Amino acid sequence: MKHTTVDSGVPQPLKGLRVVEFTHMVMGPTCGMLLADMGAEVIKVEPIDGEGTRRLLGAGAGFFPMFNRNKKSIGVDLRQPEGAEVARRLAHSADVVVENFKPGALKKFGLDYASLSARNARLIYASHKGFLPGPYALRTALDEVVQMMGGLAYMTGRPGDPIRAGTSVNDIMGGLFGAIGVLGALIQRGITGRGMEVQSALFENNVFLVGQHMLQYAVTGEAARPMPDRVNPWAVYDVFTVRDGEQIFLAAVSDAQWRTMCDALGLQDLKDDPALATNNDRVRVRPQLLQTLRERLAHRSVAELAAIFEQAGLPFAPIRRPEDLFEDPHLQATGGLVDVVLPDGVDAGRSVKTTLLPFTLDGQRMPVRLPPPVFGSGTQELLQGIGYSSEQVERLRADLLVA
């Protein structure tokens, strides 16, 4: 499969960069995906039976197609010496190696940073772990583990009922931070000629996310309370259930916005009430004020309220589910959703919509140049590219060392 572009006019700042990734699940693949979306040639080295997320059901069914676009695939049996040699030769051909296995897991195959950098001092090696080196380094981590121990689940849930965030925030952001580290290392390598190891970790990522709450305590001496139980700094900042049971988030976070909201909704008596003149006044009576607003708004529809708030320039958001976003007019108009072909399972070959990276370069989104790869689809091209003959490739396949 050729490494082609969708549009030669689309910026590809990492074109010409070769990345070899030994990754699974979400964190490492996210790092590789970001580099791939920006133009790098990313080679996904999978186990001989394919990366496990290809076969996940339920909440994991979107993992592989989401985080492995714009990559090439080769299956290699690292447990066999000749298979490990194939992986090392691929890694030696790389500018960047990305991995997210347990500490020391790749060392026995000569695929750790020390072994690879001894041969290639320009190598950048992005390692994604549960924890940075320290007392917790050998613990087994998951996104849920670090959310629980890192304060995020406490902040998201109700008092006494910690709840993890509804998406893989640390896995995804940990991969993004790994990619940011790679980009910094590439700039440094352009200056010094030498690569370096980049380390990103779930726990430290999670602590960064809750850092604002840690600083709240450090600055004020007041511990942050869980989101559903916090002392809200704004009186009107909540979800309202309105006509037909629909829900919408409405906010007025300044005195000017409060007056605008009252005018837009015909709440002149509330606007004129001196007991509600300032935000702090309204915060002091927030429960009663919200109850009044809920009663006044209960007969209105979400569509009506959204139109009023948009016209008035006030913050609002209809409550949507992930599946609703496929029909979002803004995402459709801005090209934020594009087609991708599923590589695996009973739906292999079916086209679905996926989301792109949330930024533009030169006014353009980074496209899907290659669909998530069919397992082993890059084997012939990749092995011949590092010196294996067609006959050698066929023998490796026959011996089940590559796929």
pLDDT computed for residue 160 by the predictor: 95
- Both structure tokens of 403: 């796929």
The C-alpha atoms of residue 279 and residue 122 are separated, in whole angstroms, by: 57
Residue found by looking up tokens 């009023």 in the block: 308
CA distance 403 to 394: 10
CA-wise closest residue to 200 among 168, 171, 220 = 171
SS3 150: coil
Is 343 in the same domain as 296?
A: no
Query: What span, in angstroms and rounded, lies between the C-alpha atoms of 342 and 333?
Result: 24
* 3-state SS assignment for residue 141: coil
Among the listed residues 110, 174, 185, 114, the one whose alpha carbon sits nearest the alpha carbon of residue 141: 174
Q: What pLDDT, on a 0 to 100 scale, did the predictor assign at position 7?
A: 54
Does one domain contain both 351 and 299? no
The strand pair at 197-201 and 124-129 is best described as parallel
At residue 197, φ and ψ (nearest 5 deg) are: -90, 135
User: Does one domain contain both 162 and 302?
Assistant: no
Residue 294 one-letter amino acid: R
Radius of gyration (C-alpha) of the chain in whole angstroms: 26
Q: Domain end: 278, 296, 321, which one?
A: 321
* Residue 242 sits in the same domain as residue 263: yes
Residue 327 falls inside a structural domain: no
CA angle 90, 343, 67 (to 5 degrees): 65
What angle, rounded to 10 degrees, do the helices at 169-192 and 27-37 form? 50
Q: Show pLDDT as tens, one digit a residue, over the chain (403 residues).
A: 333 345 568 999 999 999 999 999 999 999 999 999 999 999 999 999 999 999 999 999 999 999 999 999 999 999 999 999 999 999 999 999 999 999 999 999 999 999 999 999 999 999 999 999 999 999 999 999 999 999 999 999 999 999 999 999 999 999 999 999 999 999 999 999 999 999 999 999 999 999 999 999 999 999 999 998 888 899 999 999 999 999 999 999 999 999 999 999 999 999 999 999 999 999 999 999 999 999 999 999 999 999 999 999 999 999 999 999 999 999 999 999 999 999 998 899 999 999 999 999 999 999 999 999 999 999 999 999 999 999 999 999 999 999 9
Per the domain annotation, does 201 fall within a domain? yes
Res 230: pLDDT: 85
Q: Which pLDDT belongs to residue 9? A: 84
Cβ(146)–Cβ(170) below 8 Å = yes
Domain enclosing residue 245, as ranges: 232-321
| One domain, residues 175 and 302 | no
Considering the domain architecture, whether residues 158 and 191 belong to the same structural domain is answered as yes
Q: What's 361's domain CATH number?
A: 3.40.50.10540
Helices first, then strands: H and E counts in the chain: 17, 13
Q: For 83, what's the count of Cα atoms within 13 Å in the CB-facing half-sphere?
A: 19
The dihedral built from the CA positions of residue 227, 229, 233 and 234, taken in this order, carries a sign that is: positive
Residue with tokens 């992930």: 322
Number of structural domains (the chain) is 2
Pair 353, 326: CB distance under 8 Å: yes
312 and 375 housed in the same domain: no
What per-residue confidence (pLDDT) applies to 346? 86
Residue 218 maps to a domain: no
- Has residue 216 been placed in a domain? no
Burial of 170 by CB count in 10 Å (0-12 exposed, 13-18 middle, 19+ buried)? buried
CA distance 329 to 216: 38
Determine the pLDDT at residue 2.
35
Whether residue 200 sits in one domain with residue 236: no
What angle do helix axes 211-220 and 202-209 make, rounded to 10 degrees? 50
What is the crossing angle of helices 169-192 and 202-209, to 10°?
A: 100
